[in-house]
Amino acid sequence: MNNDAPPADVGLIGLAVMGRNLALNIADHGYQVAAYNRTASVTDEFVSDNPPEVFGDTGGGLVPCSTLEGFIAALKTPRIIIVLVKAGPAVDTVCNALIDAGLSPDDIVIDGGNSLWTDTIRREKDYRGRLIFFGSGVSGGEVGARFGPSLMPGGDENAWTRLKPIWESISAKVDPDTGKPMENASPGKPVSGGEPCTTYIGPNGAGHYVKMVHNGIEYADMQLICEAYQILRTSCGMTPVEIGDVFSTWNEGDLDSYLMEITADILKQGDPTTGKPIVDVILDAAGMKGTGTWTAINALNLAVPAATITEAVFARGMSALKDERVKASKILAGPEGIPGGGSNDQPSGDAGEQFIATVHDALYCAKICAYAQGFQLMSAAQVEYDWKFNFGEIARIWRGGCIIRARFLQKITEAYQRAPNLDNLLLDDYFRARIEAAQSGWRQVVAHAALSGIPTPAFASALAYYDSYRTETLPANLLQAMRDFFGAHTYERVDEERGKVFHLDWSGDRSEAEMS
């Protein structure tokens, strides 16, 4: 063995919690990881907290580096460097510092942060000839990073062949027989076998784009669960613990998902200070970091009706208007006879059970619509940005590791395996039949919420999406006539070929002319 050979297989820059956990995960899989952080004391502490014993007999470990020059020298060439710094200008700061410190043009720099996909497209182009810039979505939070995230890589395909073995080894694993995530690994003992939750997504910003849509779907998924909770609480008078029990039961069926599981857990948790349910002492003002907003903006830009995802972003915005809502709650009337909204006629016994079942069905149907919207958005994006997505693969790699992991994703995977060019998930036989069977409960819940004054923006928008999508003739004929009336925007006719446009002389003799 050449003792002068650089020891490290992979480099990792940015040792905040995501970076640290990803470095440990990589080392657990037998790799030597060069670790660097701008503030050197963070590197020292990290490496001394994780001596070689942590990685058992995997052969992996950490190589601390205090300068970027030392970091570059520690890496085998051509180099593979993962950057996990704050999304935004810091990514360019690090890339430029790496170039100044002597990086080579065939070295790969992977941005594993929550970067905006348009930045990734720009960077991939800007750094060509100086380094190979590669973007990878990483989902699964801190635990995912440590024991197996869902990884959405996008960039040069040749670079991907070099990254693939590492990405496949560190990603979450799914049992190929059941489609369910395999048990988390423990330090020094990685999971063996299983299907890796990663696949090549496409060039330049494709990986970060798909990660963004994942987060948009996550917003919708969370909002829908919250609305189910709100209805059960308000209309059935159930306690958080009782709702937690219902959610635990749901988590054993079609709605089995990570988010359902943690929600059941949260609802059963008491406040360590007051003993009240913890949800009752947490302020109802939701924060956000921007990926849901980016998804909504992109949907608006592409005119894709991702309404439930967008409503979920608006719902967080509405929640943040806490002071205004408190004032408005004392001024604005709800439905007659129900002060402040909400039902005072709570179903109980069999009626209660039946009502709970309708909420289950509403949640299930609305969830299908939220996912249908996310996939519809990606479908439009691949045309607009010149990508070629494999939707079955995308659903497959979301089955484990990520926040939206769910039993349901196995069904989406199968739907796209059956029909890779499916126009809309709603048209898949399995989902079509499931909605057909469950839609009456969904409609009852939305109607009940409207009559009781309980806000259900995501449930209701999903239903409007479903009903709009299945409606042969929408009133857009009238709308287009208005546009032609005031702005001569022209219209197409139902009895003429698509693409031929007409204008009616609304303010003159009302004759019609074909326009070129």
Q: Report the interface residues with ligand 2AM, using CB under 6 A.
A: 14-16, 19, 37-39, 42, 85-86, 90, 93-94
User: Which residue number, 79 or 405, has a Cβ lying nearer to ligand 2AM?
Assistant: 79
Residue 189 CB, nearest approach to ligand 2AM (Å): 27
Residue 88 CB, nearest approach to ligand 2AM (Å): 9
Residue 251 CB, nearest approach to ligand 2AM (Å): 33
User: Which residue number, 48 or 269, has a Cβ lying nearer to ligand 2AM?
Assistant: 48
User: Which residue number, 74 or 463, has a Cβ lying nearer to ligand 2AM?
Assistant: 74
Q: Reduce the secondary structure of 34-63 to three states and give it as a string.
A: EEECCCHHHHHHHHHHCCHHHHCCCCCEEE
Residue 237 CB, nearest approach to ligand 2AM (Å): 45
User: Which residue number, 2 or 39, has a Cβ lying nearer to ligand 2AM?
Assistant: 39
Q: Using CA of residue 238, residue 242, residue 244, residue 248, what is the dihedral sign?
A: negative
Distant-in-sequence, close-in-space partners of 433: CB < 8 Å, separation ≥ 6? none
Residue 447 CB, nearest approach to ligand 2AM (Å): 47
Cα 420 to its chain centre, rounded Å, is 21
For residue 260, count CB atoms less than 10 angstroms from its CB and return exposed for 0-12, middle for 13-18, buried for 19 or more. Answer: buried
Closest C-alpha among 86, 383, 405 to residue 221:
405
DSSP 8-state symbol, 473: S
Q: Which residue is nearest to ligand 2AM (CB)?
A: 38
With tokens 């326009």, the residue in question is 515
288 - beta bridge partners?
Answer: none
User: Which residue number, 79 or 173, has a Cβ lying nearer to ligand 2AM?
Assistant: 79
How many Å apart are CA 134 and CA 157, to the nearest integer? 10
Per-residue b or e along 86-102, where b marks 16 or more CB atoms closer than 10 Å to that residue's CB: ebeeebeebbeebbeee
Half-sphere exposure in the Cβ direction for 327 (13 Å, CA): 3
User: Which residue number, 39 or 192, has a Cβ lying nearer to ligand 2AM?
Assistant: 39
**What is the enclosing helix (H) or strand (E) of 366?**
helix 349-384
**What is the enclosing helix (H) or strand (E) of 504?**
strand 501-504
What's the angle, vertex CA 467, arms to CA 466 and CA 471, rounded to 5? 120
Residue 91 CB, nearest approach to ligand 2AM (Å): 8
Q: Which residues are catalytic?
A: 211, 218
Residue 114 CB, nearest approach to ligand 2AM (Å): 11
Report the amino acid identity of residue 327.
K
β-pairing, 61-64 vs 80-83, is unpaired
User: Which residue number, 142 or 242, has a Cβ lying nearer to ligand 2AM?
Assistant: 142
Q: Is 152 left (phi over 0), alpha (psi -120 to 50) or beta?
A: beta
Rounded alpha-carbon distances, angstroms, from residue 322 to 279, 316, 327, 458 = 16, 11, 9, 19
Report the amino acid identity of residue 176.
P
